Amino acid sequence: MIPWEKIDTGRIPGSDGELRLMRRGKEFSIMLGTNELMNSRLSGSEAALATLAAKKIETVAKPHVLIGGLGMGFTLRAALAVLGSQARIVVSELVPAVVAWARGPMAQVFGDSLEDPRAIIRETDVAQIIREHWSAFDAILLDVDNGPEGLTRKGNDALYSSTGLKAARTALRPGGVLAVWSSGPNPAFAKRLGSAGFDVNEVNIRATGRGGGSRHVIWIATKN
């Protein structure tokens, strides 16, 4: 068995937390303490976040999409694969080191996705982008922290609060979609989505995208 090697660390703005980028052969892992936040071998549910949302807006000729969280780029690459040539995708990533890893040690994982003219990367809090826009996006995809029950940064909780969800609804165009990834179910969050004015569908997805492995949850919430 090839041992894990620590490649780099990155501070999380607004917290005392530190992410670690680990590598074992061609496999990468991003860790926070003893928790694995993401692994390059497990991309199914993150990709589904994009494909499920894209299905909801497939009739939009020039979709404008906001992705919260770059991670290992699974959601971005899936969005680029299914959205048309007229799409505009903004990816917001809070941790500068994650962007540096995407362009450095994990460049092979990301392929040419960061050079795609449809996508731009902003090193900022996705909540800030949401607050700055009104009726601007056809879809907002959130893969921030561990979902509504966050691990990395207390400030992320506001994104999933009633106030944060109402801000996301305001930033969406009529009929727009808020898609949210989570490591597990959260009935209280699903209820908040409904109270914020969304029609909600909860989907269980395997982490691998196939049979077996842990189940993750994606909420597809449509602005009503």
Please state, in angstroms and as integers, the Cα–Cα distance from residue 168 to each residue in 66, 133, 140, 177, following that order.
10, 9, 8, 9
CA–CA dist 222, 179 (Å, integer): 8
**Contact call for residues 137 and 168 (beta carbons, < 8 A):** no
Residue 144 has a pLDDT of 84
Find out whether 45 and 209 touch, Cβ atoms under 8 Å: yes
Task: Residue 170: count other Cβ atoms within 10 Å of its Cβ.
Answer: 15
Q: Which residue has the tokens 């000729």?
A: 61
Check residue 151 and give its pLDDT.
46
Per-residue pLDDT of the chain (224 residues; tens, 9 = 90+): 889 999 999 999 888 889 999 999 999 999 999 989 889 988 788 899 999 999 999 999 999 999 999 999 999 999 999 999 999 999 999 999 999 999 999 999 999 999 999 999 999 999 999 999 999 999 999 988 667 865 454 556 788 899 999 999 999 999 999 999 988 888 999 999 999 999 999 999 876 655 556 788 999 999 98
Q: Which residues lie below 8 Å from residue 112, measured CB to CB, with a gap of 6+?
A: none
Which residues neighbour 62 within 8 Å (Cβ) at sequence distance 6 or greater?
86, 87, 88
pLDDT of the residue at 205: 85
Bridge-based pairing of strands 215-223 and 198-206 is: antiparallel
Whole-model pTM over 0.95: no
What are residue 197's phi and psi, to 5 degrees?
A: 100, 25
Place of tokens 């959601």: 75
How many angstroms separate the CA atoms of 101 and 90, rounded?
A: 18
- CB of 49 closer than 8 Å to CB of 179: yes
